[in-house]
Structure formats: C-alpha cells, structure tokens
Amino acid sequence: MSNPTYFEALKWASLFIKKHQLEEESGKFLLLERQQWRETDLLKRYQDEMPDAIFLQFKQDVQRYSEGIPAQYVIGSAPFYGRTFKVNQDVLIPRPETEELVEWILMDNQQVDDISVLDVGTGSGAIGLSVKAEQPNWQVTVTDISAEALKVAEENSNQLKLQVELLKGDLLEPVRGRTFDIIVSNPPYIAADEVRLMDQSVIDYEPKMALFAEHNGLQIYERLAEALKQKKVKTKALYLEIGFKQAKAVKQIFVEAFPLARVTVKKDMENHDRMVRVDFEGSINDENGNL
C-alpha cells in the first residue's frame, strides 16, 4: 500500500488532532518545523506521496502532540523573531507577545550602534540572542539561575553563530557591580491562583520555575526593584514583560522605588497591557542622570 500524499496526511492529522480537542493547525506546524520548510515548500509537494521516513516521523509527532505534549517540545524547536530556537522542557516556549518586547527595545534604540544589554532569566536565549542578531555591535549578556536552561541558550548561541556572554546565577547576582545600558527580563509572573486559567500542556510540561512567582506573581519585579535600588547593578532602562492584569501593580512597584523614574506601560497587539519600561534618569543614577 502506498503512503498518503502530503495533503492527505495533513487531512488525517487534522481529524486525529480534532478528536483530542487540540489545535487542528498544529499538524501543519509539526510538518513544516520538522522538515524546516516554509509554506511554499509544502504547497509544491501537496500532491506528492510522503516518503516512508517522513510519514513515520509525522505520525509519531502527531501522536505525541495528541498526548498533550506541546508541539514545540515534540519538534524540539520554536520560531521566534524570524529565527528558530532549540527548546526542551528545561525552558519556556517563547511566545509571540515576547517578540513585541524585543521590538520595543530595538525601536527605542535603533540609532545607537554600541550599547550593552543584560537579559535576565534568559531561558532559551530568545530575547538576548534576537537582540544580538538584530544589532551585532551591541554587547549582550544573558543570565539564568538554571544550568539546564543556560545550556539550551548556549546551544542556540552556537547554532545561530551569535556571541553573547552567558552567566549562571540568580537575577542580578552574576553581574553585581556592573553597568548596562539596558536590562530586559521576561520573568516568572504567574500567580498560584491563575493555574485554572492555563492550558494543561503548559502546567504539565513547561518548567514551573520559569512560570510561577509568589506574592500574586509580583515577587521577581519586587526583587529586581530592590536590587536596582541598592545599586547592585546600574542601568539606564529596564524593559519587562508582565502578566496582562499586572500593569498597575508592577508600575506601582517601580514608581514607589524610583520616584524620579519614568514608568511606561505598553499594550501588545491583542490590546493587553503586556510590557513595562522604566527609564531611570535621575533615580538610581546620579543627580545629573548619568550612570
């Protein structure tokens, strides 16, 4: 018996996935990502018979996804800001809204050729490495408390041929005493009582250390504010991803810690408050606004 065509295989996958009440379009994602194809590559092959090896792998991938494993973990990679990043269960799957945080940093600093950036809690390295790829002259340092996560970031750094400094440690401790033009972080910010709102696959497979924070999800923002107030590290600007209900609370943390700073909340494409920028002119810097 001959194998199905790519079109027939995708139709089967869609129906199979639908029975498990999951995203039907994930079948196409699994195939494209596994083969490293674009949509046009698939269209050219729609009526071609699937080779044995590809068909077998595709069936296995669809089965694993239908068991609840996130598609990105099934494949071992995820797209982010135009590039492919290795991911596994030691790191969060990078989300589209985080691309908007990268974009904000790049837009704010597009006229600057040489600045230093610190990515705190880098995970797969998606933020720091994307910034470095877009601005090769910038000096980028990435940190994470997890040795396993940092290993994934290092593999992505090597794969993308991007030179960044990788340091292990908690928040700002690995760079204590240093100065950066920009600090960026997508920290754990989910409160314990928000578990009921999350997809089961996220709860089951993504690292809880990178998801949840105490004090209603605000603990890491509070710790960052305190560390910066104590001048453990100096910076001109801090960019943060936040939970869509946290804008008021996160803004208040930094307004109280740095009365002279400018705190800006930015919405994502879904019109949710999703990002915060803190400009530290005249706060943790000296009275002239200099580092």
pLDDT tens-digit series, residues 78-119 = 999 999 999 999 999 999 999 999 999 999 998 888 899 999
> Has residue 282 got a pLDDT over 70?
no
Residue 189 marked as a ligand binder: yes
Say what the pLDDT of residue 283 is: 46
Write out the chain in H/E/C secondary structure: CCCCEHHHHHHHHHHHHHHCCCCCCHHHHHHHHHHCCCHHHHHHHCCCECCHHHHHHHHHHHHHHHCCCCHHHHHCEEEECCEEEECCCCCCCCCHHHHHHHHHHHHHCCCCCCCEEEEECCCCCHHHHHHHHHCCCCEEEEEECCHHHHHHHHHHHHHCCCCCEEEECCCCHHHCCCEEEEEEECCCCECHHHHHHCCHHHHHHCCHHHCECHHHHCHHHHHHHHHHHCCCCEEEEEEEECCCCCHHHHHHHHHHHCCCCEEEEEECCCCCEEEEEEECCCCCCCCCCCC
| Backbone dihedral angles phi then psi of residue 128, each to the nearest 5 degrees | -60, -40
Mean pLDDT value of segment 144-148: 97
Full-model pTM: 0.91
Residue 124 marked as a ligand binder: yes
How does pLDDT run across 176-222, given as a tens digit for each residue?
999 999 999 999 988 877 777 677 777 777 888 888 778 889 999 99
Residue 125 marked as a ligand binder: yes
Give the up-direction half-sphere exposure of residue 269: CA atoms within 13 A in the CB hemisphere. 9
Structure-token pair, residue 3: 């194998």
Residue 81 marked as a ligand binder: no
> Has residue 288 got a pLDDT over 70?
no
Mean pLDDT value of segment 246-266: 96
Residue 122 marked as a ligand binder: yes
Say what the pLDDT of residue 1 is: 66
